[in-house]
Amino acid sequence: MPEQDQPSQQEPLIGYDLFVVLDQPKVMWTIDARDEQVRFLKGLRPDYWRYLAETHGPAAEDATSPHKPMPRSS
């Protein structure tokens, strides 16, 4: 018998994610956030990231390139 504190498998969960955009705090509310996150992660293709690294990696290492990484803020 499931515990009363635990929702059933069929019961949707309301979740949220906190993040910042240009120093402004934002929140995204969603139902079944875990399912959405799993679906998103399953949709990622490792070959895409390899393509980006191989295609844009050399330009990112050139200090004069417009594709160089942004400096980290401290």
pTM equals 0.37
Residue 39's H or E segment, with its range, is: helix 33-43
**Beta bridge partners of residue 54, listed in sequence order:** none
Average confidence (pLDDT) over 53-58? 83
Q: Which residue has the higher pLDDT, 13 or 18?
A: 18
Residue 34 Rama label (left phi>0; alpha psi -120 to 50; beta): alpha
Long-range contacts of 25-33 (CB under 8 A, 24+ apart): none
- Residue 8 confidence (pLDDT) above 60: no
When mean pLDDT is compared across 2-6, 16-20, 52-56, the lowest value belongs to: 2-6
pLDDT tens-place string over residues 18-51: 899 999 999 988 887 778 888 888 998 889 888 9
Which tokens is 28 given?
């995204």
- Residue 57 confidence (pLDDT) above 90: no
Taking the C-alpha atoms of residue 27 and residue 10, their distance in angstroms, rounded to an integer, is 25
Please give the pLDDT value at position 3: 54
